[in-house]
Chains A and B, each alone.
Chain A
Amino acid sequence: MATASLSAFTRGIGRYALVAALAAVFATFAALAPGFLSGANLVSVLVNNFALLAIVAVAMTFAVSAGGIDLSVGTAIDFASFAFVSLVLAGQPIPLAALGGLAGGALVGLFNAVLIAGIGISPFLATLGTLFVGRSVQQLLTNGGNPVYLPPAGVPEAFRFLGHGSVAGLPVPLLVAALVIAGAWLVLSRTRFGRVVLATGIQASVVRYSGIRLSRVTAATYVLVSAIAAIVGLILTSTVTVYIPSSGNAFLLNAIGATFIGTTFDPHGRPNVPGTVLGVLLLGIVANGLLLSGLNFYWQQVGTGLLIFSVLAIGFANRKAAARA
């Protein structure tokens, strides 16, 4: 974890690859992209490129830590967003609507939990199924996929707080992301539940033989994943004051990418919250830096892809070498 010794650091060139990539990218953009180093821009990176993806990626880290994956994080985001918007439109107070949104997202996790822990379907297939069913449900709910707008004039100020507000000068989305990251790190590395989740990912049978009710832990994990992802639904809705069906899926591939880039940060190649956060930071800095450097928009995607690819390649090649040694 974050307090790993220096020897572990030098042992794994994989870890070095991620940190080095981050440093190199940062230095490159600081030198080439005008305005990259300005305070306003760095804050913008954190708010626009980092905060939301970090929350989704941390949620994904839980699923991957438990040896699974959750392809339906976008569905949880959408359901949370839909429930939030609907409740606000129905005139409910904002805090209640926000809670309802969280519950709406957690519902997706409950569905996954039944499939994965109850029936025993592999997480990939279960959550892929959820993704498809969720897409249809949203289209049914919205008359074929029409966005649900909130009238900008009628939106209470409290509604905009999650997306636009700030506490002590810090933007709320960033604060929420920081809380989620810290909380997830504490849970995964400092609690019994977290240890069981990690152990499940390493060897589920051992957990079962230890007399732990594996299905309960797994069920709780997937509900937690969706509940965390649901937070993004709330922030997103509060920012743009509209619910667009199936829009949450935009986070999916980047969240998976960041989580697995993060695994190169661990000497054993396991998912970990600090690594995930570094992965998200890398993706965010690259996206922002490429934008500022005035590179053709379409080349930006190529650049990002190549960078992810090289970090993964170095990380995995190193892990393979370590396994052979």
Chain B
Amino acid sequence: MLVDAPYIPPSVFGLEEKTSPEPEKSGPALGRRLATLALRGGSLAVFAGVLVFFSIAAPFFLTVGNIGNVLGQSAIAGVLAIGLTIVVIAGGSNVVTGGIDLSLAANMGLSAAVYATLAQAGQGDAVAILGALGTGLAIGAVNAAAVTLAGIVPLLATLAVMNVVAGLELVLTQNTVVPASGEFLSTLSASGPFGVPVLAYVLLGFTLVVAAIVQYTPLGLRLYAVGEYPDAARAAGLPVRSFVAGSFLASGLCGGFAGILSVSYLSGSTTGAGEMLLPVVVTALLGVVFSRRLVPTITGTLLSALFVGFLINGFQLLNISSTLVSGVQGLLILLVVSATTLLCREAV
């Protein structure tokens, strides 16, 4: 046979519920905790190792200016990945039947197009901002309705919405670049204190706010409960559907917000937003390793986005083809998930 694994019980298999609480004895649980610690420490060590390697190989790497640049360049993907993380938290980590929002990248594209078009039409910054955020929120509302009212699996619902949204963007822009400028956009794309781009501060501030809500409020705790143990959450009287709907609204809003950031970063709306989709999905899923219990977290997603950002930046500084980045991302996610899976299997 092709795979030399007949005697290994595939205890974690595909779509089977992975999060079901297996009764564990204290021994394996301790071992698992140690192993989890090692994995988490290991991923942080890899992160640190990569930073150290780049800072030795490329002296410019570890300057404030460069770090700020990486933060700024990661802002758009970071905001999108954080939006996706919210959906994953509320929907559960099973990506096929659980929470996922494939419309996020297209959402960003359409929101950016709306912003740029409104700005072109001579509308003020406030109108354009409201337009972009409103677009994102509306897309989120459609997703929420499709998932919670029509009962379509998130993967498919957001896939269909993605197609519609990407089409609407083409209709709006006629597949061209819509340049946009304005006071607000120049402020966003300028440099802030210490010569660090404003976008970097925006990303950090945004993460801080969302992380505070998701990780340190009862609301956030309930969000995790809804995602991990929907039955228990329902039994405890939590409005599961409202939480799931709310998570899609939040991610839609993140898409609109990312749209504004991308308009300022690129001085207009451009086509090809859809290409951001899979990298954003990987970033959000990779963020799991930066959390203590290997669950999706906002700060973990930020670290993951920065990790990818530093990787791309380091490769550029070293003049290594940045095409390797996607390979490294893919390998990382496979390594991380393999390690997690093997650890879980040992623990059972």
Contacts and interface: CB of A to CB of B under 8 A. Distances in A.
A133 B327 contact: yes
B27 interface: no
Interface residues of B, number: 62
Given A69-B96, A119-B341, A132-B326, A260 B2 contact: no
A296 B174 CA distance: 10
A84 B326 CA distance: 24
A145 B160 contact: no
Contacts, number: 206
8 contacts: A68-B15, A113-B2, A118-B8, A123-B15, A124-B96, A136-B323, A136-B324, A305-B165
Contacts of B11: 120
Given A119-B342, A132-B326, A257-B159, A68 B14 contact: yes
Contacts of B333: 125, 128-129, 132
Interface stretch (B123-131, B147-155, B238-246): B147-155
A117 B10 contact: yes
B95 A125 contact: yes
A161 interface: no
Contacts of A43: none
Given A122-B95, A136-B325, A253-B159, 18 more contacts: A110-B2, A116-B14, A124-B95, A125-B285, A133-B334, A136-B324, A136-B328, A139-B323, A139-B326, A205-B16, A219-B1, A219-B5, A223-B2, A260-B156, A296-B171, A298-B174, A309-B161, A317-B150
Nearest to B18: A122
Interface string B296-333: 00000000000000000000000001011111111101
A306 B166 CA distance: 12
B181 interface: no
Interface string A209-230: 0000111101110010000000
B55 interface: no
A128 B277 CA distance: 12
B44 interface: no
Contacts of B168: 302
A298 B175 contact: yes
A132 B175 contact: no
B15 to A, nearest CB: 4
B194 interface: no
B338 A115 contact: yes
Query: Binding site of A, secondary structure by majority: helix, strand, loop or mixed?
Result: helix
Given A67-B15, A129-B333, A313-B150, A216 B1 contact: yes
B50 interface: no
A175 interface: no
Interface of A: 66-69, 110, 113-126, 128-137, 139-140, 144-145, 200-201, 204-205, 208, 213-216, 218-220, 223, 253, 256-257, 260, 296-306, 308-309, 312-313, 316-317, 319-320
Interface of B: 1-6, 8-16, 18, 94-96, 146, 150-153, 155-157, 159-168, 170-171, 174-175, 278, 281-282, 285, 321, 323-331, 333-334, 337-338, 341-342, 345
A129 B161 CA distance: 24
A113 B151 CA distance: 31
Nearest to A130: B330
A114 B3 CA distance: 6
Nearest to B6: A213
A218 B10 contact: yes
A308 B155 CA distance: 13
A125 B281 CA distance: 10
Contact of B334 (A66, A115, A136, A299): A115
B330 A135 contact: yes
A312 B152 contact: yes
Contacts of A123: 14-15, 96
B321 A301 contact: no
A298 B170 contact: yes
Given A296-B171, A309-B161, A215 B321 contact: no
Given A204-B16, A305-B161, A121 B2 contact: no
B276 to A, nearest CB: 14
Given A124-B95, A129-B330, A215 B6 contact: yes
B3 A216 contact: yes
Contacts of A297: 170
A140 B2 contact: no
B327 A306 contact: no
Ordered nearest first, which 5 A-B pairs have the shortest CB separation? A136-B327, A132-B330, A301-B167, A305-B163, A302-B167
Nearest to A143: B321
Contacts of B156: 256-257, 260, 312
Among A136, A201, A257, the most chain B Cβ lie within 10 Å of the Cβ of: A136
A269 to B, nearest CB: 10
Contacts of B2: 110, 113, 219-220, 223
B166 A301 contact: yes
A117 B333 CA distance: 17
Contacts of A219: 1-3, 5
A319 B151 contact: yes
